[in-house]
Chains A and B, each alone.
Chain A
């Protein structure tokens, strides 16, 4: 083998500055975080809420978070895996599901703060740009959108969640530039296209195309939809029902899972481990003695 000069010498490691843990994990953008959580000092302990939307491969997480030195506090959260409770079981990471999750979180927060009667938001989703009007009694709940590390392109599902929260009645500063249906040439949001996306119209269109051209691919790709009898035509009415169900009861439900097994917190000492071994041998011998007695 040719002589290879060692790249990472001892000197390299001695001078290496380890980035923050969440930066190492690639999960937090600190530049954005500083700017989102920085509160005016003359507002002292008033919390500054961020509307956090994160996507995993099969789930959407939407949370309202306020920052704290000891750790961020979550005011309310909504996941797209809760949507089966409202009648939506498939397509849990698409634009329409993101809208539902944002709507669910918004209504949940308002109900928590007892503002849900005052601020109904946009009951009928039209896809137009909707901003909450402040009423006389209380100012609307304000949060700042935190997208995390995703690329904010027009039509990204994150903005579906944003639209859901806006229509729920939250005050989130935004522009309509990144909603699905905004045309760069016309510099305008096409409300019809956006409404189409909110009600899963783009999914329905793809279903129709596949049914026409490649029925086998349609069977494999939309198998879960077919199993539940969801067709391209009844997708819109399905989402309408889900929106209505969410508005009717957005409260969070505690899961009935048993609390996780508690692992041992401290390692046993040497004496304790020996004592355990002796006990186990005693019981084994007793059992073995009983067996041998039976054999005899």
Chain B
């Protein structure tokens, strides 16, 4: 009999619950609220069978475009052939986690606004752009001693002592 290609094929380990984390899922999953335009990670919870996304979307991050009674509509990018389609799926809240991808950006926004306000008060011009790490600065090598290493001729008698 050939292997099937059903919706949940090849998901034996992917959808399995982690070691010693079976049973009731913690309440925070149900208590987090999601707003349209926010970002979420899709991570399937194998214990909840309803509203499961297809295995392709496991591990994808997308934007929330719809909020219903028990599910979230997520817009995820999928490459089909030579183009990327924005796919809209509905997923139950148990299979979704709030994403931290924008967290750093938000913090940086706040900090930059603060820096700009301070600079404006002082009257100086600053750039809040992020710069990539440049090449390391040059340095002098300290405490280096010179040791000349030359090859020694192969000594048949001594090297073969021990057995041949």
Residues of A within 8 A of B (CB): 15-20, 30-31, 33-34, 37-42, 44-45, 67-69
A49–B106 CA distance with the chains assembled, in angstroms? 33
| Inter-subunit contact A20/B24 (CB<8 Å) | yes
A44 surroundings in chain B (CB, below 8 A): 33, 35, 67
Q: Given the known inter-chain contacts A41-B71, A42-B67, please indicate yes or no for A15 contacting B32, CB distance below 8 A.
A: no
- Of B15-23, B78-86, B133-141, which stretch is located at the interface? B15-23
For residue B21, give the distance in angstroms from its CB to the closest CB of chain A: 7
B24 surroundings in chain A (CB, below 8 A): 20, 30-31, 34
A30–B25 CA distance with the chains assembled, in angstroms? 9
| Inter-subunit contact A42/B28 (CB<8 Å) | no
Interchain residue pairs with CB less than 8 A apart (5): A34-B24, A37-B31, A39-B31, A40-B70, A68-B31
Main SS of the interface on chain B?
Answer: loop
B74 at the interface (CB under 8 A from A): no
| Inter-subunit contact A42/B69 (CB<8 Å) | yes
B9 surroundings in chain A (CB, below 8 A): none
For residue A73, give the distance in angstroms from its CB to the closest CB of chain B: 12
Q: Given the known inter-chain contacts A33-B27, A69-B32, please indicate yes or no for A17 contacting B69, CB distance below 8 A.
A: no
A67–B31 CA distance with the chains assembled, in angstroms? 8
B42 at the interface (CB under 8 A from A): no
| Inter-subunit contact A17/B31 (CB<8 Å) | no
A104–B22 CA distance with the chains assembled, in angstroms? 42
User: Count the A-B residue pairs with Cβ separation under 8 angstroms: how many?
Assistant: 49
For the complex with contacts A16-B20, A30-B27, A39-B30, 10 further pairs of A-B residues with Cβ separation under 8 Å are: A17-B20, A19-B23, A37-B30, A37-B31, A40-B70, A41-B70, A41-B71, A67-B27, A67-B31, A69-B31
A33–B28 CA distance with the chains assembled, in angstroms? 12
Which of B27, B35, B70 is in CB contact (< 8 Å) with A37? B27
B26 surroundings in chain A (CB, below 8 A): 20
Residues of B within 8 A of A (CB): 20-24, 26-28, 30-35, 67-72, 93
For residue A43, give the distance in angstroms from its CB to the closest CB of chain B: 8
A37–B30 CA distance with the chains assembled, in angstroms? 8
A68–B35 CA distance with the chains assembled, in angstroms? 17
| Inter-subunit contact B33/A15 (CB<8 Å) | no
For residue B30, give the distance in angstroms from its CB to the closest CB of chain A: 5
For residue A19, give the distance in angstroms from its CB to the closest CB of chain B: 7
B69 surroundings in chain A (CB, below 8 A): 40-42
For residue B151, give the distance in angstroms from its CB to the closest CB of chain A: 56
A69 surroundings in chain B (CB, below 8 A): 27-28, 31-32
A137–B68 CA distance with the chains assembled, in angstroms? 28
Q: Given the known inter-chain contacts A37-B30, A44-B35, please indicate yes or no for A15 contacting B20, CB distance below 8 A.
A: yes
| Inter-subunit contact A38/B21 (CB<8 Å) | no
A67–B24 CA distance with the chains assembled, in angstroms? 17
| Closest residue of A by beta carbon distance from B64 | A41
Q: Given the known inter-chain contacts A45-B33, A69-B31, A69-B32, please indicate yes or no for A17 contacting B22, CB distance below 8 A.
A: yes
| Closest residue of B by beta carbon distance from A14 | B20
A173–B26 CA distance with the chains assembled, in angstroms? 26
| Inter-subunit contact A41/B31 (CB<8 Å) | no
For residue B89, give the distance in angstroms from its CB to the closest CB of chain A: 15
A30–B34 CA distance with the chains assembled, in angstroms? 23
For residue A30, give the distance in angstroms from its CB to the closest CB of chain B: 5
Which of B23, B68, B71 is in CB contact (< 8 Å) with A17? B23
| Inter-subunit contact A41/B33 (CB<8 Å) | yes
B22 surroundings in chain A (CB, below 8 A): 17
B35 surroundings in chain A (CB, below 8 A): 44
| Closest residue of B by beta carbon distance from A17 | B20
A33–B93 CA distance with the chains assembled, in angstroms? 17
A39 surroundings in chain B (CB, below 8 A): 30-31
A38–B71 CA distance with the chains assembled, in angstroms? 12
B67 surroundings in chain A (CB, below 8 A): 41-42, 44
A37–B69 CA distance with the chains assembled, in angstroms? 14
B30 surroundings in chain A (CB, below 8 A): 34, 37-39
For residue B154, give the distance in angstroms from its CB to the closest CB of chain A: 56
For residue B145, give the distance in angstroms from its CB to the closest CB of chain A: 47
